[in-house]
Chains A and B, each alone.
Chain A
Amino acid sequence: MAFSFIFIPLLLAACLPLIGKFSKKLIPDVLTNAALAFLLFNSILLIKPVLSRGSFFENINWFGENINLQIALDGFNLFMLFTISLVSLCITLFSIDYLKHYGHQANFYALLLVMVAGMNGLVLVIDLFSVYLFLEVAAVASYALVAFGLGSEELEASFKYLMLSVVASAFILLSITVIFGLTGSLSFQAVARGLQDLNAGLAVGVCLAFFIMGFGLKAALVPFHAWLPDAHPSAPAPISAMLSGLLIKVSGVYALFRIVYSVIGMTPALSRVLMAMGAISIVVAALLALGQNDIKRMLAYSSISQVGYIILGLAIGTPLGIAGGLFHLFNHAVAKGLLFLNSGSIQHITGTRNLNELGGLGKKVPITAGTNLIGALSIAGVPPLAGFWSKLIIIIALVQAKHFGYALVAVLASILTLWYYLLIQRKAFFGPLNERWQKIKEAPFWMTTANIILALLCLLVGIFFTPVFNTWITPAADALARGVQQVLMWGI
């Protein structure tokens, strides 16, 4: 059942260009959304067996013969699959109307589905080299999607993204090669066991440094963030939402922390390094976001800052810190997905993303303005929205672990975050209405619907915080907190 997360999007992606020859829009729209809705439903169905068994292992047989297609499912990767399916579905709903001015829906959806398959594959595999390969599946699709508009800005951004991403992949591959040389294996379980028996601190340290550089580039952590503020604003709005909402978290945060916690093992020194990088990202990117006039560029810097929070929480190493980091990962995926889609709505309505040209839009487009406000306040950490709880948990975990300095940074940066999000509100939605926008009206139905769903999620997850936390976050955090033991107990 868990294999459907890889095979369904891949098979549909292979068929869509052909289907697109017969039906330019309706069938690709329906099939893509139906496939992602099925995956979301599937991830919800899987929560019961994962909660009852802790983790389980799936193997595919081909006509009775073992062909070694193996995946393991635990709380952590099921949580990621749920997040990917949920946000992707909202993004494809938004794309139904948004793609009208781009055209070539079938091709767009096919690339998007390959990206989803790549992310799902990365989350499910139990082998370092397969992690690298699925990382590239998602990355190759994302390069094309960033350049999908084919303008010079998009092509340049995609090229820059490709170049830096290839450097990241090279670091990751190099590290995997060294680990293979050390342990003679690539499976998580064998490497974890091999490294426990091996006294090779320096070599493992070098591997970790390469992993941090590689996955840090993918996650756009400061100082590896240069590509993101160009790539994310240039892409079509649904792709900006995919990249900021999901891809940097799956190919950066998930992969790094799965390897650090479950394969190599977290150490106090590594925890300190990652926490420092997280804190620097929070502050530097928040300050850089303040000076932006392009909404999507501001959101891109905000993503770097919020990924800093996630890294800070996950790197504390305590169960509460990990839970806070994962909860913030989910909340940011939803809220940032919403804000990027919302910026697409604004661009669709007005034709510009420049904050200085906007003003007073709230009176004309109240749904777009309202959903934007909910997303912004959630990321800024205003109660009772979802982002408040995740930031609060991270700060409590920092205080419990006696990292008072980092806790202060997290609080102060949250105020900065609120400041630049209120700037968006003031410049775009409040104040006198610019005469240019007298005749504007709300975005089309599906774009508005996707915004409303994501805004409701920000609100409802905040209000029903306890059941959401217990069902999705706690099993994921437990799986990660078990460290190397988690993969050693997979019954492979």
Chain B
Amino acid sequence: MIIQILLLSGLVIFSILAILLKDLLKAALSLAVASLFLGIIFFRLDAPYAGVFEISVVAGLITVLFALTVALTRKDSEVKEARLTRLAFPLFFVIFLIIDGLVMKSLLQQVPALPAGPETGSFGEVLWKSRTFDLVAQLGVILAGVLAVLALFRKKEEDKDE
């Protein structure tokens, strides 16, 4: 139970950081960490495939895409947010917490549990035995992301030297 609460707290905290942080790269990394927490929660809820896909897609691939997008945008294209926009998220978050507390518990009890799919197993079994090829592809995505950042930032460094 304590681990469950810690994982959920980590998920919520890093999700909030992903929205509130001004530095886009840090926000993307926060989202990746939040996704990692969600992936672990999926595993603990006996949904190993959902966990593997969550970590593969959101923690891995989407983070690379965000980093690439940040690399493609210029520093001078920052947009200042209106004050009202900055208040919108905390307000929405409070409203969500209230609705969650009042409605979700009774609502979840009415949703029938889905039968377990044929492809189940522990984290290790799923990752190393069933989805090994995904790891190769993940390495490819990360390598592509690293090489892309090296390629796209190279001229900026040269400009600095000039």
A→B interface (CB under 8 Å)? 6, 10, 13-14, 17, 66-70, 104, 107-108, 110-111, 114-115, 117-118, 121, 125, 127, 129-130, 133-134, 136-137, 140-141, 143-145, 147-148, 150, 155, 158-159, 162, 166, 173, 180, 184-186
Contact = CB atoms under 8 A, between A and B. Distances in A.
Question: Which 6 A/B pairs are nearest by Cβ-Cβ distance?
Answer: A144-B148, A133-B137, A137-B140, A184-B117, A140-B144, A141-B144
Interface of B: 49, 53, 56-57, 61, 64-65, 68-69, 72-73, 117-119, 128-134, 136-141, 143-145, 147-148, 150-152, 154-155
B133 A127 contact: yes
Contact of A104 (B68, B141, B151): B151
Nearest to A127: B133
Nearest to B117: A184
Q: Pick from A143, A159, A185 the residue with the most CB of B within 10 Å.
A: A143
Interface of B: prevailing SS: helix
B22 to A, nearest CB: 21
Nearest to B154: A104
Nearest to A184: B117
B138 A159 contact: no
A114 B148 CA distance: 11
Contacts of B119: 184-186
B84 to A, nearest CB: 27
Contact of B148 (A68, A133, A143, A184): A143
A143 B68 contact: yes
Contacts of B136: 6, 10, 69, 121
B141 A68 contact: no
A19 to B, nearest CB: 13
A159 B68 CA distance: 9
9 contacts: A10-B143, A68-B131, A104-B154, A129-B134, A133-B140, A143-B148, A155-B72, A158-B72, A185-B117
A76 B1 CA distance: 52
Contacts of A150: 152, 154-155
Contact of A10 (B64, B133, B140): B140
A145 B144 CA distance: 10
B152 A140 contact: no
Nearest to B133: A130
Contacts of A162: 65, 68-69, 72
Q: Pick from A14, A67, A144 the residue with the most CB of B within 10 Å.
A: A144
A133 B143 contact: no
Nearest to A150: B155
Given A141-B148, A158-B72, A136 B141 contact: yes
A140 B133 contact: no
A134 B137 contact: yes
Contact of A114 (B72, B128, B134, B140): B140
B68 A144 contact: yes
B152 A144 contact: yes
Given A117-B140, A133-B141, A159-B72, A140 B148 contact: yes
Contacts of A144: 68, 144, 147-148, 151-152
A159 B137 contact: no
A355 to B, nearest CB: 29
A137 B144 contact: yes
A130 B133 CA distance: 7
A125 B151 contact: no
A143 B132 CA distance: 26
B61 to A, nearest CB: 5
A66 B143 CA distance: 25
B134 A110 contact: no
Q: Pick from B138, B145, B151 the residue with the most CB of A within 10 Å.
A: B151
A173 B62 CA distance: 13
Contact of B128 (A67, A145, A180): A67
A133 B53 CA distance: 10
A186 B139 CA distance: 20
B65 A140 contact: yes
B53 A185 contact: no
Contacts of B138: 133
Contacts of A145: 151
Contact of A107 (B117, B128, B151): B151
Contact of B64 (A13, A110, A140, A159): A140
A148 B151 contact: yes
Nearest to A124: B133
Given A107-B154, A133-B138, A184-B117, A69 B144 contact: no
A180 B139 CA distance: 24
A107 B148 CA distance: 9
B7 to A, nearest CB: 23
A13 B129 contact: no
A130 B69 CA distance: 23
A147 B137 contact: no
Given A14-B143, A155-B72, 16 more contacts: A10-B140, A67-B132, A68-B133, A69-B132, A69-B133, A104-B151, A107-B154, A111-B144, A133-B137, A134-B137, A137-B137, A140-B141, A143-B72, A143-B148, A184-B117, A185-B118
